[in-house]
Amino acid sequence: MIIAVDGPAASGKGTIAKALAAHYGLPHLDTGLLYRAVGIAVLRGGGDPSDEGEAFHACAFDEALLTDPGLKSEAAGRAASIVSAHPSVRAALLERQRDFAHQKGGAVLDGRDIGTVIAPEAQAKLFVTASPEVRARRRFEELERMGLAVTYDHVLGDIRARDERDSGRGIAPLRQADDALLLDTSTLDVAAAVATAIGLVEQRRKG
Ligand code: C5P
């Protein structure tokens, strides 16, 4: 079974995707990490993420980068959201994601375009969302725990800017697939969000 989990930044989609993978015994791919790796590779090379040629070149990043703690930074997220708007970057990362989705037994993938572009044939598609304020609060608390000096307003501004870039781009924009089930986590804790997600996948499996 292929499970596609899409949604905006800090919606809880990563936590939900991981929990679904554990529940169904499936491998999981956080596709945002691929774009983050490209973004960080450009930044570390002194390049500009908005330069398509530089971003495309960075798609041949070293695999070790995928476990670099720097990938989780806000700078990496911002750079990822810029490089991900380049068609050649999306094309360069496409096969790798499709191959992961189509491995024997299936997989869980989370991102922005899994249900619409990477695996439109997925048996279960979830679109996980939450209000920008709730998402900013979660991300703010996460960054504070990491010991980073940030303000809530700054994080909220960043989330809104990323939403706008991800939803407004011409290629593979963030949007709910027609056959995706909506899961709003604004008022749910992790346990409730995961339980709801499993319930929705079961609905699709039986239906
Ligand atoms: O999910 P995460 O916040 O790690 O993703 C970082 C950025 O990578 C997103 O803001 C988005 O622009 C891009 N992305 C994408 N398509 C995906 C996954 C992530 O465009 N499937």
Question: Ligand 1 mean position to 206 CA, how many Å?
Answer: 30
Average pLDDT over residues 93-104: 98
Cα 207 to ligand 1 centre (Å): 30
Pick the residue whose CA is nearest to atom 5 on ligand 1.
32
Residue 73 pLDDT exceeds 90: no
List domains and CATH numbers for the chain.
2-206 (3.40.50.300)
Residues 149-176 have a mean pLDDT of 92
Nearest CA residue ID for atom 1, ligand 1: 32
pLDDT grade, residue 207 (50/70/90)? Answer: confident
Does residue 12 have a known ligand-binding role?
A: yes
Measured in Å, residue 78 CA sits from the centre of ligand 1 at 9
Share of the chain above pLDDT 70, in %: 100
pTM value > 0.85: yes
Pocket test for ligand 1, best of 72, 98, 112 (most atoms within 8 A of CB): 112
Q: Tell me the HSE value of 182 on the side-chain side, using a 13 A CA sphere.
A: 7
Query: Ligand 1 pocket by C-beta < 6 Å: which residues?
Result: 9, 31-32, 35-36, 77, 80-81, 84, 111-113, 162, 166
Closest approach atom of ligand 1 to CA 162: 10
What confidence category does residue 149 fall into, taking pLDDT thresholds of 50, 70 and 90? confident
Cα(147) to ligand 1 centroid in Å equals 24
pLDDT at 14 over 90: yes
- pLDDT range class, residue 115, cuts 50, 70, 90: very high
Pairing status of strand 181-184 against strand 124-129: parallel
pLDDT over 90 (residue 30): yes
HSE toward the beta carbon, residue 47, CA cutoff 13 A: 19
pLDDT in tens, 169-199: 898 899 999 999 999 999 999 999 999 999 9
Report the side by side order of strands in the sheet with 28-30.
28-30, 107-111, 2-6, 124-129, 181-184
| Band of residue 143 on the pLDDT scale cut at 50, 70, 90 | confident
Q: How far is the CA of 192 from the centre of ligand 1 (A)?
A: 24
Query: Two tokens at 80?
Result: 């990822």
Residue nearest to atom 11 of ligand 1 (CA): 81
Mean pLDDT of the chain: 95
User: Which protein residue has the closest C-alpha to ligand 1 atom 19?
Assistant: 32
The mean per-residue pLDDT over the stretch 19-44 comes to 98
Are 159 and 136 a contacting pair, CB within 8 Å? yes
